[in-house]
Amino acid sequence: MTVLSVRDLRVAIGENPIVRGLDFSVEREETLGIVGESGSGKSMTVLAATGLIDAPGRRVSGSSILRTSPDAAGVELVGATDRTLRSVHGDAVGFVFQDPSTSLNPFLTAGRQIAESLEANRIATMAFDPATCAAPLPRAFQWLDGSAYVNHVALVRKARGAEMPASFWTDPLMYQGISDVLSGPRDSIVLADEAWGIDLEAEVVVVLGDVPMGASREVAAKAIKLIMLVNDVSLRNLTGPELAKGFGFVQSKPSSAFTPVAATPDELGPAFDGAKVDLPLLSFVNGKPFGKPICGNDMTFDFPTLIAHAAKTRALSAGTILGAGTVSNRDADGGPGKPIEEGGLGYSCIAEQRTVETIRIGKPVTPFLKFGDHVRIEMRDAQGRTIFGAIDQDVVRYRHS
């Protein structure tokens, strides 16, 4: 069986012909050697015949047909699409280059090559089951959470009767959360008392590379390596008394839960401009749509600003998780957002909805989460495909053993 049949192969770089009308074939289990002096076109012949030639001004013509089995249709490699070439390179066609500098491309990482092989179904795979996933980082060197959506901060503080300092609009608010145990996407929210005021908080977070102390916005932006979502669970009835002590969150912030997948920024395409994610963040409570605010809207502090703020007086270690806080949008008229059932974008936490209810009707009517309730958080791309997978959590009573 003829495995490779090359006919009238011609290669030119600009106006200079390199290979002129070459014919050859390779039979199954046959070895073919191409011999010639330096510069005679040996490498160009093989690269052109296998669809690998990538020189500026190149022109390749003729035919190079690959056949992998007697009953398989031949694949034309000359002029083939990238998709066709990916389906054969590394599988039916393998390479051992003579020049190590050609084999090791510093701009083509091992991760990118593995990803291409997976996407082309050239590596054995198994079904992805989010139910078996831990958080992408089950533990982290640190978990920092900011409040980039100052509209949310203003509303929640108003509900607590706390003043809103003017500096909150110019200097990001940020706290350091627990990072020794980060929950997976299907782990239950296990707590002892409903009276603590159990609330969801849907957020976008980034995972960082090393960030030097005093990093500029530009340096900070380059440190964003991965993006994912979090349910930053909060206990609202413990928050006020705890913060009144002036020393930050501990009891009011139990373990946060993360999506099963963390994606590299390029996977979001134009939806991520290096600073903000311009997609809706979807939240559901007991199967009912609760929020769909646009992450890029009303974001007072973008991710590079938050990162630079955190790194002002210290370096950040690779693996640091940094959140932008509960996503919150104003209504089209500039006032507080409206519930989805009233045509609004809804909310990413119950506390915000309760605050809006207090402003509108004088008292909150939406209860915090109860045991047996279910929370779902996810983000979908423009085609409706989930990007990170979903956080799906039940609220469960903690029982002492």
Answer with the residue of higher pLDDT: 41 or 114.
Answer: 41
Give the model's confidence band at 44: pLDDT under 50 very low, under 70 low, under 90 confident, else very high.
Answer: confident
> Tokens 């609760």 — which residue?
290
pLDDT at residue 357 is higher than 90: yes
Q: Give the model's pLDDT for residue 54.
A: 67
What is the structure's pLDDT at 92? 79
Share of the chain above pLDDT 70, in %: 93
DSSP secondary structure of 176-198: EE--SS-B-TT--EEES-GGGTE
Least confident range of 51-55, 119-123, 288-292:
119-123
pLDDT at residue number 128? 86
Q: Is the pLDDT of residue 122 over 70?
A: no
* Rounded distance between C-alpha atoms, residue 236 and residue 308, angstroms: 29
Per-residue confidence (pLDDT) for residue 101, from 0 to 100: 56
The reported pLDDT for the residue numbered 82 is 81
Q: What average pLDDT does the segment 28-32 reach?
A: 88
What is the separation, in whole angstroms, between the first and last Cα of the chain? 70
pLDDT at 216: 97
Q: Which residues are within 8 A (CB) of 280 and not within 5 positions of it... i.e. 6 or more apart?
A: 292, 293, 294, 295, 345, 379, 380
Q: Dump the DSSP string for 80-115.
A: --HHHHHHHBTTTB----S-HHHH--TTS-HHHHHH
Across the range 212-233, mean pLDDT stands at 97
Question: What span, in angstroms and rounded, lies between the C-alpha atoms of 61 and 49?
Answer: 10
Check whether 108 has a pLDDT greater than 70. Answer: no
**For position 381, what pLDDT does the model report?**
95
**pLDDT at residue 15, rounded to an integer:** 80
- What six digits make up the tokens of 111? 């991760």
| Confidence grade of residue 156 (pLDDT, cut at 50, 70, 90) | confident
Pairing of strands 75-76, 58-66: antiparallel
- pLDDT band at 321; cut points 50, 70, 90: very high
Q: Is 267 a residue whose pLDDT tops 80?
A: yes
pLDDT, average across residues 47-51: 86
Are 240 and 195 spatial neighbours (Cβ–Cβ below 8 Å)? no
Is residue 279 pLDDT above 90, yes or no? yes
Report the pLDDT averaged over residues 389-393. Answer: 98
Which band of pLDDT confidence, cut at 50, 70 and 90, is reported for residue 99? low
Average of per-residue pLDDT across 16-45: 87
Q: Distance (Å, rounded) from C-alpha 146 to C-alpha 232? A: 11
Q: Which of 130-144, 165-179, 200-214, 229-243 has the lowest mean pLDDT?
A: 165-179
Average pLDDT taken over every residue of the chain: 90
Q: pLDDT category, 14, cuts 50, 70, 90?
A: confident
Taking the C-alpha atoms of residue 199 and residue 245, their distance in angstroms, rounded to an integer, is 21
Please determine, for residue 65, whether its predicted confidence score (pLDDT) is greater than 70.
yes
Residue 247 has, within 13 A of its CA and on its CB side, a CA count of 4
Q: What number of helices (H) and strands (E) belong to the chain?
A: 9, 17
**What backbone torsions phi and psi does residue 64 show, to the nearest 5 degrees?**
-140, 105
Q: How confident is the model at residue 227 (pLDDT cuts 50, 70, 90)?
A: very high
Under the banding of pLDDT at 50, 70 and 90, the label for residue 125 is low
Residue 89 has pLDDT above 90, yes or no: no
Nearest of 393, 90, 382, 114 to residue 258 by alpha carbon: 393
pLDDT, position 159: 67
Closest to 203 in 3D by CA, of 170, 243, 231: 231
What is the rounded CA–CA span in Å between residue 319 and residue 109? 19
Q: Which two tokens stand for residue 172?
A: 């990001």
